[in-house]
Amino acid sequence: MSSADEKTYDVVVMGAGSTGENVADVVVRGGLSAVLVEEHLVGGECSYYACMPSKALLRGTEAIEEARAVKGAAAAVTGEQDVAATLERRDSFTSHWDDAGQVRWVEGAGIDLVRGTARLEGERTVVVTRPDGGETRLTARHAVAVCTGSEAAVPPVEGLPDVEPWTPREATSAKEPPRRLLVVGGGYVGCETSFAWNALGSQVTLLQQGDRLLPGAEPQAGDAVLASLRDRGVDVRLDAEVRAARREHDEVVLTTAEGEVRGDEVLVAVGRRARTTAIGVDSVGLEPGEYLDVDDTLQVRGLPWLYGVGDVNGRRQLTHMGKYQARQAGAAIVARARGEEVRVEDWSPHTATADHAATPSVVFTDPQVAGVGLTSAQAEERGLPHRVVEYPIGSVSGAALFADGYEGTAVAVVDTEREVLLGVTFVGPAVAELLHAATIAVVGEVPIARLWHAVPAYPTVSEIWLRLLETWRG
Ligand SMILES: Cc1cc2nc3c(=O)[nH]c(=O)nc-3n(C[C@H](O)[C@H](O)[C@H](O)COP(=O)(O)OP(=O)(O)OC[C@H]3O[C@@H](n4cnc5c(N)ncnc54)[C@H](O)[C@@H]3O)c2cc1C
Ligand SMILES: NC(=O)c1ccc[n+]([C@@H]2O[C@H](COP(=O)([O-])OP(=O)(O)OC[C@H]3O[C@@H](n4cnc5c(N)ncnc54)[C@H](O)[C@@H]3O)[C@@H](O)[C@H]2O)c1
């Protein structure tokens, strides 16, 4: 290795997904030098295989259904969705899987970029195998941030790897709807993908292991999404355990306790696993394949120079939470580099407290599921004194105006001792934009008594807030 292939930076970031980009940006803004290493596309899963393409596949259907739900406007919807145009729009949102725009952003932000596969080689050292086969050795003065993300988990089902199942990558980048799509897993990806491809013409069968879809959400969410999927002709099978898989000619055949189910493609969407298998974590005493165990400043426990940020730590696998962690970790790295105090208490500029207490997320199905903070089950598990308040969103004027026959539910979990919100979930059409008000109330621990002064404008769907307060008061 020539000396030209060795460089020292204040911070070395492994993985240029949305998380890695933000760690690098924050530390450079803090006056440190940083290099990003990326083996595939700068921007990561979210831009090319996850959030953006999946939402682009869903948005056309949502827009049509919003118009169809308003008498008068519905008459203007006279045709079917143009599937080819929807796929073209999806392709434009992924920049046709070309990362030139993001590379320009990296350069403009004063961050260096090295293309290739990074691995740790002992303390503060990252070796990159470049596409030309050569190696670049990067040394970090202050910190290495591992932001290598996660990949689809594949359950140990006999024959499954041999049928070459789709991962979310294929499901979000497919060039045309498969005629028959089998989906294993009824979480975020399984539900959104079933909605998307069903509306674009595929016959979808969704196999969920447990007795509910979206098992991590309030039960009202899974129930509503189940009813809606079935209404649209998706064959949803609960308590369906896939025991074996095989291909017969062009068909995929899955065996469950109830018999066989056949399709042209099968998507496996049963969760994620850490991308730490081949990144040299064993060279610093960690177990390959495990999520990185970090504290609230995202510092790996026992290795003060190493940070694990975003999907790779398994705390919250959402783009906005990875970027939030990046801001907090970046601030902690800069503070430590300057010899300043790093504050480890909750809600400090250096801790990712919202990971535990106030993570917002939206499932972009119809109905949408938008939730933040604790569900009633989580409040129960944590032994917190609480009461659950529920109200049908369709009963507020704004919702009735928004869509004829609007159906939805709001669920608030209230801490009965402190009289603050622990969590809120909205299930219904277009509820995503209601979520941030709830996030502010949960993060700010706004007392219920003060929430009465946050008056929702009439007639908006936000009037649900007033109805929840009235229900709480009784
Ligand atoms: C289908 C789907 C839809 C989703 N939709 C949403 C959504 O709507 N909203 C939301 O908030 N979240 C969504 N998510 C989750 C979101 O995609 C992730 O939380 C987010 O992409 C994580 O970002 P990250 O930067 O931590 O990891 P990644 O985006 O995975 O980035 C990691 C990067 O590291 C690179 N890398 C890995 N190993 C190496 C190595 N050894 N050397 C160099 N580079 C390496 C990878 O190539 C990649 O670019 C979705 C996920 C899926 C699967
Ligand atoms: N809109 C969004 O924000 C969005 C969209 C997609 C993904 N994501 C993120 O990506 C993560 C991964 O999504 P995901 O859907 O793969 O995981 P998930 O954890 O959301 O859901 C996995 C589902 O698979 C089921 N399951 C597990 N093993 C199974 C088996 N052997 N057979 C059948 N079902 C099985 C589980 O019960 C669960 O319902 C999400 O947790 C979320 O953090 C977010």
**DSSP per-residue letters across 213-237:** SSTTS-HHHHHHHHHHHHHTT-EEE
Cβ–ligand 1 contact at 25 (below 6 Å):
no
- Atom of ligand 1 minimally distant from the CA of 322: 26
For the cut 80, the answer to whether the pLDDT of residue 1 exceeds it is no
Rounded to an integer, the average pLDDT of 356-381 is 98
The matching CATH number, chosen from 2.40.50.90, 3.50.50.60, 3.40.50.300, 3.40.50.620, for 161-270 is: 3.50.50.60
- pLDDT above 60 (res 231): yes
Q: Which ligand is nearest to the CA of 55?
A: 1
* Closest ligand 1 atom number to CA of residue 21: 25
Q: Where in the chain is the domain with CATH 3.30.390.30?
A: 367-473
Closest ligand relative to 128 C-alpha: 1
Q: Please state, in angstroms and rounded to a whole number, the distance separating the CA atoms of residues 366 and 195.
A: 8
Q: Is pLDDT of 31 > 90?
A: yes
Cβ of residue 37 lying under 6 Å from some atom of ligand 1: yes
What does the pLDDT look like over 375-397, one tens digit per residue? 999 999 999 999 999 999 999 99
> Which residues are 308's β-sheet partners?
146
pLDDT tens-place string over residues 393-431 = 999 999 999 999 999 999 999 999 999 999 999 999 999
Ligand closest to 185 (CA) is 2
Are 414 and 406 in contact by the 8 Å Cβ rule? The answer is no
How many Å lie between the centroid of ligand 2 and the Cα of residue 152? Answer: 9
pLDDT confidence of residue 221: 98
Kindly state the percentage of the chain with pLDDT values over 90.
99
Pick the atom of ligand 1 nearest to 150's CA. Answer: 30
Q: Nearest residue CA, atom 31 of ligand 1?
A: 17
* Domain 3-43+99-151+273-354 homologous superfamily, CATH: FAD/NAD(P)-binding domain (3.50.50.60)
Q: Which two tokens stand for residue 140?
A: 């970090």
β-partners of residue 247 are 252
Task: Name the residue type at position 322.
Answer: G
Centre of ligand 2 from the C-alpha of residue 35, in Å: 32
**CA 128 / ligand 1 centre spacing (Å):** 20
Q: How far is the CA of 386 from the centre of ligand 1 (A)?
A: 35
Q: Whose CA is nearest to atom 30 of ligand 1?
A: 149
pLDDT of residue 26: 98
- Longest alpha-carbon distance in the chain: 75
pLDDT, residue 252, reads 98
Strand 235-237 versus strand 242-248 pairing type: unpaired
If you average pLDDT over residues 14-23, what whole number do you get? Answer: 98
Q: Could you tell me the distance, in angstroms and rounded to a whole number, from the CA of residue 213 to the centre of ligand 2? A: 10
Return the CATH number of the domain spanning residue range 367-473: 3.30.390.30
**Residues 213, 424: Cα–Cα separation, whole Å:** 19
Q: Is the C-beta atom of 19 inside 6 A of ligand 1? A: yes
Lowest mean pLDDT among 1-5, 15-19, 215-219, 423-427: 1-5
Residue 411's SS3 state is: strand
Q: What is the pLDDT of residue 4?
A: 61
Q: Which helix (H) or strand (E) holds 259?
A: strand 259-263
Q: Which residues contact 107 (CB under 8 A, 6 or more apart)?
A: 113
Say what the pLDDT of residue 395 is: 98
Pairing of strands 6-14, 135-146: parallel
CB 245 within 8 A of CB 450: no
pTM more than 0.95: yes
**pLDDT higher than threshold 70 for residue 34:** yes
Residue 434 has, within 13 A of its CA and on its CB side, a CA count of 27
**Nearest ligand, measured from the Cα of 216:** 2
- Specify whether the CB–CB gap between 202 and 181 falls below 8 A: yes
- ipTM exceeds 0.90: yes
Answer whether 260's CB lies under 8 Å from 140's CB: no
Give the number of other CB atoms < 10 A from CB of residue 98. Answer: 11
Beta strand ranges found along 240-328 (DSSP E) = 242-248, 251-256, 259-263, 265-268, 272-274, 306-308
As a whole number, mean pLDDT of residues 250-271 equals: 97
Cα 50 to middle of ligand 1, angstroms: 7
What is the per-residue pLDDT for 20?
98
What is the full DSSP assignment across 238-256?
A: TT--EEEEEEETTEEEEEE
Q: Is the CB of 359 under 6 A from ligand 1?
A: no
Calpha distance 175→57 (Å, rounded): 12
Protein residue with its CA nearest to atom 45 in ligand 1: 15
Distance between CA atoms of 59 and 290, rounded to whole angstroms?
Answer: 35
Protein residue closest via CA to atom 20 of ligand 1: 319
Question: How many whole angstroms from 206 Cα to the centroid of ligand 2?
Answer: 12
Ligand 1 centroid to 272 CA: how many Å? Answer: 10
For residue 128, what are the contacts with CB-CB under 8 A and spacing of at least 6? 37, 114, 116, 117, 118, 135, 136, 137, 138
- Ligand 1 center to 446 CA (angstroms): 33
The DSSP H or E segment spanning 416 is none
* Start-to-end CA span in the chain (Å): 74
Nearest CA to ligand 1 atom 8: 51
Across 164-203, b (16+ Cβ under 10 Å) vs e yields: ebbbbeebbbbeebbebbbbbbbbbbbbbbbbbbbbbebb
**Residue 322 Cβ contacting ligand 1 at under 6 Å:** yes
- How many Å apart are CA 249 and CA 406, to the nearest integer? 45
Return the pLDDT at 298: 98
How many Cβ atoms from other residues are within 10 Å of residue 339's Cβ?
6
Query: Of the ligands numbered here, which is closest to the C-alpha atom of 321?
Result: 1
89-132 per-position pLDDT tens digit: 999 999 999 999 999 999 999 999 999 999 999 999 999 999 99
CB 37 within 8 A of CB 128: yes
Mean pLDDT of all residues belonging to the chain:
97
pLDDT for residue 179 is more than 60: yes
Question: Read out DSSP for 353-364?
Answer: THHHH--EEEE-
Provide the pLDDT confidence category of residue 191 given band limits of 50, 70 and 90: very high
Q: CATH 3.50.50.60 occupies which residues in the chain?
A: 3-43+99-151+273-354, 161-270
Residue from 102, 119, 318 to probe ligand 1 pocket by mutation (most atoms less than 8 Å from CB): 318
Average pLDDT, integer, range 23-41:
98
Mean pLDDT of 56-81: 97
Closest alpha carbon to 203 in 158, 233, 228, 164:
233
**How many Å lie between the centroid of ligand 1 and the Cα of residue 15?**
9
Asked if residue 3 has pLDDT above 80, the reply is: no
| Residue pointed to by tokens 């989906």 | 183
Q: Say how far apart CA 43 and CA 327 lie, in whole Å.
A: 16
Q: What percent of the chain has pLDDT over 70?
A: 99
With a 6 Å cutoff on the Cβ, whether 190 touches ligand 1 is no
Q: Where does residue 362 fall: left (phi above 0), alpha (psi -120 to 50 degrees), or beta otherwise? A: beta
